[in-house]
Amino acid sequence: MGLSNTISGSRIYLDTNIFIYAIEGYPEYQSILTSLFRLFDEGTYSAVTSELTLAEVLIKPMKENKKEIQQLYEELLRPSDVLTICTIDRQILIDAAKIRASSDTILLPDAIHLASARNQNCSSFITNDKRLRKIDSFQVVILSEL
C-alpha cells in the first residue's frame, strides 16, 4: 500500500523512530522515507513532531559518543518551513496522562507524542510502533506496513 492511499489529511505527525530510520540508515525504509520527505518538501503534506523527539533521538548517539549524528539531529529537528516542532506544555501533559491512563500498552513518551499530534490537529500519525495502532483520534500508519 502506498503513501497516498494510506495517509489521510495534510498534517502528519512523525514519531521518533521515523527520524532514526531516516538519519541512521535503515535500508528497508529508505525508499518510502525518501518519498515521504519529498512530499513534505513539495508541500503536499506538513510534517509535525514534538520537542520530545529530539531528546529521544539523541540518547543512542550520546551513549556511543557519535557527535556527528548528534549534531545532525540537532540541525534537523528545528522548526522550519517543512517541519513544525511543537512544544510540550501543560495541556499536552494532561492529555498524555489521559491517554496513558486509558491504556495499559501505551507508554508515557508515546502518550506525549499522541497528545502532541492531537494538539497540532494532525490527521495521521506515522510510526513503526504497532502498539499505537489502536488509537482512534487519527489514522496511525505503521511504516513497515507501507
Domains of the chain are 3-138 (3.40.50.1010)
Bigger pLDDT: 135 vs 132: 132
Strand residue runs (E) in 15-71 = 46-50
Could you count the other beta carbons within 10 Å of the beta carbon of residue 111? Answer: 23
Nearest to 92 by CA among 106, 122, 112: 112
86/81 Cα distance (integer angstroms): 13
Question: For all residues of the chain together, what is the average pLDDT?
Answer: 93
User: Tell me, what's the pLDDT at 6?
Assistant: 77
Tens-digit pLDDT profile for residues 59-102: 999 999 999 999 999 999 999 999 999 999 999 999 999 999 99
